[in-house]
Structure 1
Amino acid sequence: MTQKNTGPLSGIRVLELGTLIAGPFCSRMLAEFGAEVIKIESPDGGDPLRQWRVLKDGTSLWWSVQARNKKSVTLNMKSAEGQTIARRLALDADIIIENYRPGVLEKWQLGYEQLKAINPATIMVRLSGYGQSGPMSDLPGFGAIGESMGGLRYVSGHPDRPPVRVGISIGDSVAALHGVIGAMMALRHRDVTGGRWNGKTGDACQAGQGQMVDVALYESVFNLMESLVPEFDVAGVVRERTGGALPGIVPSNTYTTADGENIVIAGNGDAIFHRLMKAIRRDDLAHDPALVRNDGRVPRTAEIDAAIQGWCDTQQIETALQTLRAADVPVGKIYSVRDMMQDPQFLARNMFEQHQFADGSAVKLPAITPKMSETPGQTQWLGPPLGEHNHAVLQALGYSETDIARFEAEKII
């Protein structure tokens, strides 16, 4: 097992103080591109995600992805000495990523202002349900709540049924991506204003300017909501659920073929619409002057969708895909994971990595994205056992084997 990260973020130290999804996904992406990520976990079982969803030998298969390339260090954060160790790690880090409820780190003397007073180059990414301020900031907020408050759930599903969720924890993941973007911008700003703080000399004057990246889950979802706000503000329009269709952009919907498969057809570009109608043998619609532009097609959405579905009723999915692709119409089958793992495009792009667990059994993981031509990400090792890096990390901080043995005996680690 190689335990030396390489990549564009090689040399960047990250301390992860978080559990489950948003914070750990944020630091996972940094680890995939070379950052040294030290993940702090409770000695009593570690990150709950270790036991989520499908398990192998008592550990989540998700863990192998979410914690790849990270170093696991156990600390009892309720103990004074555990907090002292965490503070030393935080002051030595380029980026701190945390997703506790606001106020928790402050109680442990690990808050942003407390660390910034010592290390002005401190960059802290704080992911929480509602952000670090406002009347709801102290409330617990998971991704599902962020999706609801941020507007995504309201527009998801069919108009005659209650809202539905996306089948993954999209709110957490979107917030994590905002955290990554914020961390990279903050790192750039720190470097152009002076660079990393030298903790050995303690020379704060030479350090660059750090900052707090305040990521709220509901705001991250809200940031994806397209034209929702101006449409309501100017026109009083409240976007509603429209099933598989993309409202106001016609045609773009999900249809069913004769063999019962679902197919997405996006013929909403003006030239694409013309080609689509020709391909499904509806020359009358292809040459209708009222349908040349999208604003003319919107009032006749039901008619256009019915024409496309009528054609799909006569087609097997493979024939439909071939016909529409030949006409240069954006079209796609809705993939399950089984479809993905057999698909020539996924395989040609090397979207699956083969690895081994400690017992020698094989496992495929999703490959790392984005793909970079000169500095691609790498999976150096899978999610580690709990506390695997205790000795190495604590020794690097200057603790002796005697100290570490005492920490173990006193259940500090």
Structure 2
Amino acid sequence: MSPPSETSQADAWHLRSLAFCFSFWLLGTAATAHADRLILRDLTLVRNVTVIGFDEEGVKVTDNNLIPWYEIERGTVSPEKQADFDRLREELGVPLFRIHQRLKVGDYAGAQEPAEQVFPRYKDRNSNVAYLVCQATMWGRLANGERAAALEAYFCCLRILRAVRGEVSKLPGERRLDFDKTTGLTSDLLPLFFDQQKAAQAFPLADAAAKQLGRGAPDGVFVYLASLAIAAEKYPEAETWQKKIRSGNLILKEWPELLSAYTLVQSGKLAEARQQLEPKIHAFQPWNQPVAWYLLGISGTHSKEFVAIENGILDLLHLPAIYGHEHPELSAAALAEADQALQRIQQADKASRLRHQLLFFYGGTLHAEHLRAQLNSTSNP
């Protein structure tokens, strides 16, 4: 038999090489076919990764990166995980994305609806995503006049920031929570509530959220709960929380007296409240001044004496004049109270001017909304 030619040997070598390359290509194709793939909302394609797992916080991939749900448009994962992935993407990704967009443009009223959808799932968690949801819930409730309900969400924010030192700078948009770590007080929500029924409904939820802060909760939490209890006319609970305020902080030290005056006003002991507040009204700490002026004002306007009512109106008008930009909701409440007092003492022209100011300068507040509803019902019997 003649030896194989060099050409035959070369052909065989080429065939073996082609077979090897084809097999390698098939393996690579199979690996790629089984690799997970994510498409982000900015159209970035994340491919050739393995999704290790996912939960409320987002999707963890092979490089240990956590991709939040609000960044994910769609994805392909292993078949046994696909259904759960799609369910969470729909349940969480869509509302979280809407929250992100609303906060980015400063539409806090619009952020409430998607935030409320997922708030029950995140309010007990400690993470940046949970903070995003809780903060949107707080600001959304405030923007829509749900002042008492906003307290629960604020306590959740406070717990998260204390527990994980949440990075506030990661919030979309320019707004940041204005709060004091030492006192636990926030200028976004002064400890004053206007609606007894809403306060009563919100109290158990705020109480439960406060307890999750643990024993190290700052005394400002007790101030808020005592004030909410007074507004809800739950005076024994208010006294219990008030007794817990023991801080030597200059702002917090004044709150037992302010809460005492608030209780007197709510229980109809107006003269006593005024006697307690009036001599010290200019001595209160600047942070406490708006609340002190409001309480002093309504201690007069709720009176039956003409002079006391007039003095109360003047006290209330301090709020829009001095704090109108900083505390619009409280200023609107002061104008609404002054308007009602002027009508009681038959000064309709002055009352009309105050209503105009309320609607023009504070049209987005709850009190302006109530006034519009009242005017509409009067004009359309």
Using the size of structure 1 for normalisation, the TM-score is 0.23
Which of 1 and 2 has higher RCO (CA within 8 Å, sep 6+)?
1
TM-score for the superposition, normalised by structure 2: 0.24
Give 1 or 2: higher strand fraction.
1
| Higher helix content, 1 or 2 | 2
